[in-house]
């Protein structure tokens, strides 16, 4: 059979995959056209990543066939997917942390002269590949030294530079802020205009509507709907995904903040943070917004003592911790939900139950012995409250889907009932239905008197959930806004404005 222009770029027929007894993907048949951007939506655990991994040649489907430009293809391993021109950006990032940005971008195809790597060419080519997405990123830095968002950019840049016919992107923007997202979209649209087909997986519905040509919805592993983007709307999409309508994404509330609970004074770290001072009162949610490299991530880690600050003071409930250590911060009642769940949030070999109780061990134990029943009850309660989709609390947490893992990271600290919550991208990878639950939980916590610092790259989330919004750029706080009295543009401006200054 010769390929004809009428054949779809990619045709999936009856693809199915089960893990043990869980049917992750059920008979999915789907066409992706040439130069089309197809969004793939669905709840946490719906089977999106499984489908992506099948296309990456990483998981073999139990049933079904795949055809590329009319030719049936077989993908026994990632290398053959590569050869076929299918590039996949994974939800859980895959990089070699000790290698430099350039080496990661050009992994497996480093320019060389004979057996000698041509380092000038490596850096030059990497810079060219990175230019449209992150013009300021130095390709000679080790990836380990970069914040999550920049690591994600490196991944994306690598995949986009592969000359692929099909690109699958599994939540590429989960840690990116608007500016990077805009650059990414421009690039993706450009690629699509040259005939590349893109499968775009995301929980950010705004992005889906602004980028996609068509939207496909997976539910419990089955394809339930496919629409052209102008034939549907947000409400309908959400209903298809979660099976009910989600009325109010951001629960509103009246807040009456009390005494200052968290006070930060002159927190500084060479080259990263400059005299950062602010406070969060009981019952208050303070949002922090910054672009790539703004220092928001360092601020979070320094607050908890996971990154050592050079100077400054952290005060909780009127008592100074000096420069905190993680142990002291926890005992003082600070909780940190870190941004990168796989590396910082979870012990992957441990069960869901064990991960959930990691920060409350002393509270659920007597004489150093863990109260087994209490631990189990708490775990079951948390799993239900956050709608974690898992076969049971004894399953290793690494087997859950990305969004469900994120819920476990969140749940750990919800149990600890701390006085100060520092949330770094708390809803990263969480579906719309569960997001509402998370926001409600945040509201409840604030109402019960917790002080919450919310660091997020999602502007609507920051704008709707925060009582006050702080912007950070180049390690300095650049502006403060009150809720309701500010627009996205203003916040963005002061986040960028600082960077330019």
Partner 1 sequence: MPLGEPRPSPATGFDTATSSPGAHDDLRSPPGAPVHPTQADLSERGARVTLGRLWDAGIGLLVVYAAIVIAFSQLSEFFLTKNNFLNILVGVSILGIVAATQTMVIISRGFDLSVGSTVALAGVVTAEILNAGGSDPLAVSGAIGVGLAVGLVNGLLITVVHVNPLITTLATLSIVRGIAYVWTDALTQSFPGPNLRWLGTGRVFWDIPVSVLIMLAVFVVVWLTLRFTTFGRSLVAVGGNPRAALLAGIDVGRVQLAAYVISGLSAGFAGAILAAQLSAGSPQAANGLELNVVAAVVLGGASLAGGRGRVWGTLLGALIMETLRNGLVLTDVSSFYQMIAWGAVLLLAVVIDQLRRGEGS
Ligand X SMILES: Nc1ncnc2c1ncn2[C@@H]1O[C@H](COP(=O)(O)OP(=O)(O)OP(=O)(O)O)[C@@H](O)[C@H]1O
Binding site for Mg ion (CB under 5 A): 49, 91, 401-402
Q: Is 48 near ligand X (CB under 6 A)?
A: yes
Of 7, 42, 346, 458, the one binding ligand X (CB under 6 A) is 42
In whole angstroms, the minimum distance from the beta carbon of 286 to partner 1 comes to 20
Do 364 and 376 meet the contact criterion of CB atoms below 8 Å apart?
no
In whole angstroms, the minimum distance from the beta carbon of 118 to partner 1 comes to 28
**How many residues form the binding site for partner 1 (CB under 8 A)?**
63
Structure tokens at 43: 């709840």
Cβ within 8 Å of residue 184, ≥6 positions away: 133, 156, 172, 173, 176
Structure tokens at 49: 């990543």
Q: Is 354 near partner 1 (CB under 8 A)?
A: yes
Of 31, 38, 39, 49, the one binding ligand X (CB under 6 A) is 49
Report the site for partner 1 in 208-227 (rule: CB under 8 A): 220
Q: Is 362 near partner 1 (CB under 8 A)?
A: yes
Of 8, 22, 85, 279, the one binding partner 1 (CB under 8 A) is 22
Cβ within 8 Å of residue 6, ≥6 positions away: none
Structure tokens at 477: 């706080």
In whole angstroms, the minimum distance from the beta carbon of 343 to partner 1 comes to 6
In whole angstroms, the minimum distance from the beta carbon of 392 to Mg ion comes to 20
Cβ within 8 Å of residue 42, ≥6 positions away: 48, 217, 218, 219, 241, 431
Phi and psi at 445, nearest 5°, equal -60, -45
In whole angstroms, the minimum distance from the beta carbon of 240 to Mg ion comes to 18
In whole angstroms, the minimum distance from the beta carbon of 9 to Mg ion comes to 23
Do 429 and 446 meet the contact criterion of CB atoms below 8 Å apart?
no
In whole angstroms, the minimum distance from the beta carbon of 359 to partner 1 comes to 5
- The residue (of 401 and 415) whose beta carbon lies closer to ligand X is 401
Distance CA 449, CA 186 (A): 43
Q: Pick from 236, 212, 211: which is nearest to 225 by CA?
A: 236
Do 212 and 218 meet the contact criterion of CB atoms below 8 Å apart?
no
The string over 394-408, giving b where at least 16 C-beta atoms fall within 10 Å of a residue's C-beta and e elsewhere, is: eeebebbbbbbbbbb
Q: Is 3 near partner 1 (CB under 8 A)?
A: no
Helix (H, G, I), strand (E, B) or coil at 422: strand
Of 141, 162, 315, 370, the one binding partner 1 (CB under 8 A) is 370
Phi and psi at 54, nearest 5°, equal -65, -45
Of 21, 76, 108, 318, the one binding partner 1 (CB under 8 A) is 21
Binding site for ligand X (CB under 6 A): 19, 22, 24, 42, 44-50, 91, 389, 399-404, 429, 431
Binding site for partner 1 (CB under 8 A): 19-23, 26, 49, 53, 58-59, 78, 90-92, 94, 220, 304, 306, 326-327, 329-331, 335-336, 338, 343-351, 354, 357-359, 361-362, 365, 368-370, 372, 376, 379-380, 383-384, 387, 389-396, 398-399, 412
């Amino acid at each position: 059979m010769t390929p004809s222009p009428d054949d779809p770029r990619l045709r999936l027929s009856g693809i199915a995959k089960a893990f043990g007894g869980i049917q992750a993907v059920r008979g999915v048949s789907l066409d992706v056209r040439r130069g089309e951007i197809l969004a793939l939506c669905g709840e946490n655990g719906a089977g999106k990543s499984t489908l992506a991994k099948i296309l990456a040649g990483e998981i073999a489907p139990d049933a079904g066939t795949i055809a590329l430009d009319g030719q049936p293809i077989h993908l026994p391993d990632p290398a053959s997917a590569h050869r076929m021109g299918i590039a996949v950006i994974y939800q859980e990032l895959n990089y070699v942390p000790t290698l430099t940005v350039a080496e990661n971008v050009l992994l497996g195809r480093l320019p060389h002269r004979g057996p000698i790597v041509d380092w000038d060419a490596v850096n030059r080519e990497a810079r060219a590949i990175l230019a449209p997405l992150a013009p300021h990123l130095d390709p000679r830095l080790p990836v380990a030294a970069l914040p999550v968002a920049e690591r994600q950019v490196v991944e994306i840049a690598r995949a986009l530079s592969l000359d692929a016919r099909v690109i699958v992107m599994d939540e590429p923007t989960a840690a990116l802020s608007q500016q990077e997202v805009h650059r990414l979209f421009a690039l993706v649209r450009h690629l699509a205009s040259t005939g590349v087909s893109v499968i775009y997986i995301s929980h950010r519905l705004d992005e889906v509507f602004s980028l996609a040509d068509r939207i496909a919805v997976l539910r419990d592993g089955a394809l339930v709907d496919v629409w052209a983007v102008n034939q549907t709307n947000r409400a309908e999409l959400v209903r298809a995904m979660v099976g009910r309508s989600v009325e109010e994404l951001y629960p509103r509330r009246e807040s009456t903040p009390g005494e200052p609970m968290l006070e930060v004074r002159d927190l500084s770290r060479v080259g990263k943070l400059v005299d950062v001072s602010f406070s969060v009162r009981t019952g208050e949610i303070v949002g922090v917004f910054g672009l790539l490299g703004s220092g928001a991530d360092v601020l979070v880690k320094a607050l908890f003592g996971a990154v050592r600050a050079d100077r400054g003071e952290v005060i909780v409930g009127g008592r100074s911790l000096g420069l905190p250590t993680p142990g002291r911060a926890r005992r003082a009642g600070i909780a940190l939900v870190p941004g990168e769940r796989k590396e910082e949030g979870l012990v992957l070999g441990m069960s869901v139950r064990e991960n959930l109780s990691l920060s409350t061990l002393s509270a659920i134990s007597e004489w150093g012995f863990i109260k087994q029943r209490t631990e189990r009850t708490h775990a079951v309660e948390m799993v239900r409250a956050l709608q974690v989709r898992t076969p049971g609390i004894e399953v290793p947490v690494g087997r859950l889907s990305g969004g469900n893992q994120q819920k476990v990271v969140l749940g750990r600290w919800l149990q600890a009932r701390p006085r100060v919550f520092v949330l770094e991208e708390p809803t990263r990878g969480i579906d719309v239905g569960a997001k509402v639950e998370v926001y409600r939980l945040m509201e409840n916590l604030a109402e019960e008197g917790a002080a919450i610092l919310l660091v997020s790259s999602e502007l609507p989330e920051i704008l709707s959930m925060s009582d006050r919004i702080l912007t950070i750029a180049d390690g300095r706080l650049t502006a403060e806004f009150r809720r309701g009295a500010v627009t996205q543009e203003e916040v963005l401006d002061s986040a960028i404005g600082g960077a330019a200054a």
